[in-house]
Chain A
Amino acid sequence: MKTGVYFCNCGSNIAEKVDPERLREALERSGAEMAWFRTHPFLCSEEGKQFLEQELREEMPDRVVLAACSPREHEGTFRRVLAEAGMNPYLMQMVNLREQIAWVTADPEQAVAKAAAAVNGALRRVALHEPLEKSELEAAPEVLVVGAGPAGLKAALTLADAGRRVTLVEKSPVIGGLPVRYEELFPNLECGPCLLEPVMGELLHGDKAELVEILTLSEVSEVAGSFGNFLVKIRRRPRYVDPVQCIGCGECAAACPATLPNPYNGGMDERNAIDFAFTGGLPSVPYLDPSACTRFTAGSDCEACRAACPMGPELVVFEEQEEIVERRVGAVVLATGATLYDCSGFPNLGYGSCPDVKDALEFERLIASTGPTGGEVLTSAGKAPASVAIVHCVGSLDDAHRPYCSGICCSYAFKFNKILQERLPEAKIHHLYRQLVAPGKEEFRLQNSAREYAGAQFHRYDRLAELEVVVDGGQKLRLAGGELVDAELVVLCPALVPNPDAEKLAALLDLPLDGFGFFEELNGRIDATRSKLRGVYLAGTCQGPTDIRGAATQGAGACGALLSELVEGRTIELDPCIASVDAERCAGCRVCARVCPFRAIGFDAEQGTSEVNPVLCRGCGTCVAACPMKAIRGNHFTDAMIEAELEGVLA
């Protein structure tokens, strides 16, 4: 084997401390197996790279050792030079003379000795290097987006704008997520539906609409494969209405004799068995709830909706069945959103038992013109409340519940203040809070407006247990100090928690959740739109509490990461420096799968052996060290290579 050693002087950076001539002598004295030892003043310069390329072409070494700077700086550079010279780029090993020897060693003699040991290790290691090739994988450019709230909508639209085919799966009958149910949004009291409607309109009817398939009443039921090639099964529940021909006139709903509490208005009013989710919900097609329609509940032969449909009775399809839709996609964007922490866990606050204690979502519907009261703020008795208590931090900043601050509740609580101020100018408003937090460059206005409002009083509490809703001749709230204040209506602002669907999806995708049930991001600061599973991206509140802007921005941001990794017409390049299982030696104990941080190790049940998915493996080598049978090999970092280097530096 012919190994050439190239020493880079790095100007005087290395050569001043590590004399190349003395290093060469030391290596020769120790019998190091090198075919030649040559120096260059600046190997990474254009001239230096040309020199090296020429050398490699002419001398045709089997292996190369570059005694230069940190591989973190120039390993890529020199690998490219090797490739240019027609050599396999992995047949090279760098020795970090500059950062880890020349710059940190006072005594030149010791520096030379340390350098000789390091080069010796590299020589022994590189002799065992193998030519490795990057492999390539065909990838589907299509994308699945799960959840049609602000984050999912923005993601779907961004992808469609880039020419990608998107399947947008939404479990409810309408798209838009939670904010389409709010009439006014913080910080500027913009109209929620008006803000989202252009995005939804674009997806439903715009130039790129044909690229986006929207599946409502649908949930992901199965996922197989990995980045580039996911095979997804989607369970689609029947709407019982033909969405293509329906014109959204609502005649069917008007004719329907059956009713049920409307879940979109927090059960505060009723809807018909066939009806819209709420006025203005998109797509503007009613859906039939079989839990209330007498044809399904009592086997009746009612056809009132069919008879009422001006487009023809065939538009209502009672026979429609659940179906499984299969799609092949290269990547998945999760935007399953969040919900409110369940307030019924605080019996002292009366949620669920007192009709005039509402959570923030219910209150949003109470102030919406499309809501149960047409936007009039009324108590359950149909009276305008003379006093309203808004309780912040319900279940937040509380180790027994959710220790984090959701960051949006104070802002919408101040919005409620503003709306109450206008609609009920006589009403007294009490804010109960543990901490007031309204981050952002615009949010302070609503906060200031609430703080300056003469009708509002602020009371700090330490523990939620100090507060109590008392119903005794008019609803009251006991404050932390024991004082009772009138609170004919109580609005609770609970912590934002992940949608329960996240858990199901996490199990389907084998994706980790954090301690609170949000999807765990690849890195919480620098890579929050990528999950820990390659090809699965995160957007919006399924990753952590955020506001509409945060969700939409993350939706677009996730697409940036996705589009740069899953490039249409380009294969996915797979790093060869990963693990591989020798099936002959594998005993099938699956220790490797348990220690793998990336769920990259599967199991071949037929063979009874583990196998590494090269798309998911990132080459950390944890499984290699864990395998009791030594059946896993870490390419480019094999046991033999590491041990050879170890023995070389100690020789």
Chain B
Amino acid sequence: MKNVEVAIEQGGAAAAETFQPRIVGFLCTWCSYAGADQAGSCQLEYPANVSIVRVMCTGRIDPEFVLKAFRAGADGVLVLACHPGDCHYKEGNLRAAQRHAVLVRLLEQMGIERERCRFDYVSAGEGEKYAQVISEVVSSVAALGPLSINS
């Protein structure tokens, strides 16, 4: 995270102005998608770079989807789940967290920075956190620049 902040401060910001990253956000229906809707109801503005793909549960997210997203041109991927203990399906979010932990190591071996694939928890009541996570992920991916495997 430190490096990202430094990158943003040192001219990364200038690059971010011109470079608009494309990011895919996988959201579970019950918590994080509802959190995104709440951000909307509160009319919280955030960057438009993240396209949402809704799934019933983050447990549904096959790591291959993430790889396919990068292959299809995404500069970053975001996976948002229910907080531990809140999962509508009991523990799908924990499976997603486990898979993410393994996946980012694989991504790093492939030369894809771990900051390009963020996992976080957003509840149905956390519209503000949702907007904040979107802003953070957009600026951190922007600072990294376009994904080289795509260029």
Sample (16) of A-B pairs whose CB atoms are under 8 Å apart: A72-B29, A98-B40, A99-B37, A104-B45, A111-B48, A114-B48, A577-B56, A595-B59, A597-B59, A597-B87, A620-B57, A620-B88, A621-B57, A621-B59, A639-B62, A650-B51
A113 to B49 Cα, complex, angstroms: 10
When each residue 54-97 of chain B gets 1 if its CB lies under 8 Å from chain A and 0 otherwise, what string results? 11110111111100110011100000000000011111100100
Whether A99 lies near B59 (C-beta < 8 A) is no
CB-based A-B contact count at 8 angstroms: 122
Cα distance A25–B33 when bound, in Å?
A: 28
Complex: A107 Cα to B47 Cα, angstroms = 9
* A649 near B89: Cβ-Cβ < 8 Å: no
On whether the beta carbons of A622 and B59 are closer than 8 Å, the reply is yes
Interface residues of A in 414-437 (CB under 8 A from B): none
Q: Is A647 an interface residue (CB 8 A)?
A: yes
B53 contacts partner chain A, Cβ-Cβ < 8 Å: yes
Residue pair A619, B48 in contact (C-beta under 8 Å): no
What 12 additional pairs, Cβ within 8 angstroms, besides A105-B48, A625-B95, A651-B72? A72-B34, A96-B52, A100-B52, A104-B45, A106-B45, A107-B48, A595-B59, A622-B60, A624-B60, A646-B68, A649-B53, A650-B22
User: Contact: A624 with B62, CB < 8 Å?
Assistant: yes
**For the complex, would chain B's binding face be called helix, strand, loop or mixed by DSSP majority?**
mixed
Q: Which residues of B contact A643 (CB under 8 A)?
A: 65, 68
Task: Assess whether A618 is interfacial by the CB under 8 Å rule.
Answer: yes
Kindly list chain B residues whose C-beta atoms are within 8 Å of the C-beta of A650: 22, 24, 51, 69, 72-74
> With contacts A114-B51, A646-B24 known, is A621 near B43, CB below 8 A?
no
Please indicate the chain B residues that have their CB under 8 angstroms from the CB of A107 in the complex: 48
Contact B45 A621 (CB under 8 A): no
Determine if B41 and A647 form an interchain contact, defined as CB atoms under 8 angstroms apart.
no
Contacts of A625 in B (CB 8 A): 59-63, 95, 99
Range class of the B interface residue count = 35 or more
**Is A70 engaged at the interface, CB distance under 8 Å to the other chain?**
yes
A117, B95: Cβ atoms under 8 Å? no
Within the assembled complex, what's the spacing in Å between the Cα atoms of A629 and B26?
Answer: 23
Do A622 and B22 touch (CB < 8 A)? no
Contact partner of B53 among A103, A620, A626, A642, CB < 8 A? A642
B12 → chain A closest CB, angstroms = 21
Residues of A within 8 A of B95 (CB): 595, 622, 625-626
Q: Give every chain A residue within 8 A of B41 (Cβ-Cβ).
A: 99, 103
Cβ of A649: which chain B residues have Cβ within 8 Å of it? 24, 51, 53
Q: Which residues in B have their C-beta under 8 angstroms from that of A637?
A: 55-56, 60
For the complex, give the distance between the alpha carbons of A102 and B37 in Å.
11
CB distance from A248 to the nearest CB of B (A): 48
A118 within 8 A of B: yes
Interchain CB contact under 8 A, B40 and A103: yes
Is A184 interfacial (CB 8 A cutoff)? no
With A618-B89, A620-B56, A622-B92 already in contact, the answer to whether A646 and B40 are too (CB < 8 A) is: no
Interface membership of B104, Cβ < 8 A: no
Chain B residues with Cβ under 8 A from A618's Cβ?
89
Q: Which residue of A lies closest to B50 (CB)?
A: A114
A621 and B60: CB pair below 8 A? yes
A532 interface hit (Cβ, 8 Å):
yes
B92 touches A117 (CB 8 A): no
A110 at the A/B interface (Cβ < 8 Å)? Answer: yes
Q: Does B39 belong to the interface (CB within 8 Å)? A: yes
Q: Which of A112-145 contact B (CB under 8 A)?
A: 113-114, 117-118, 121
B89-111 interface (Cβ within 8 A of A): 89-92, 95, 99
Q: Which residues of B contact A114 (CB under 8 A)?
A: 48, 51
Q: Which residue in chain B gives the minimum CB-CB distance to A99?
A: B40
Q: Which residues of A contact B149 (CB under 8 A)?
A: none
B6 at the interface (CB under 8 A from A): no
| CB contact between B37 and one of A100, A117, A621, A624 (< 8 Å): that residue | A100
Q: Is the CB of A597 within 8 A of B24?
A: no
Cβ of B117 under 8 Å from chain A: no
Interface bits A62-78 vs B (CB < 8 Å: 1, else 0): 00000000111100000
| A505 close to chain B: CB less than 8 A | no
What chain B residues lie within 8 Å of A364 (beta carbons)? none
Q: Tell me, yes or no, whether B19 is within 8 Å of chain A by CB.
A: no
Q: Does A645 interact with chain B (Cβ within 8 Å)?
A: yes
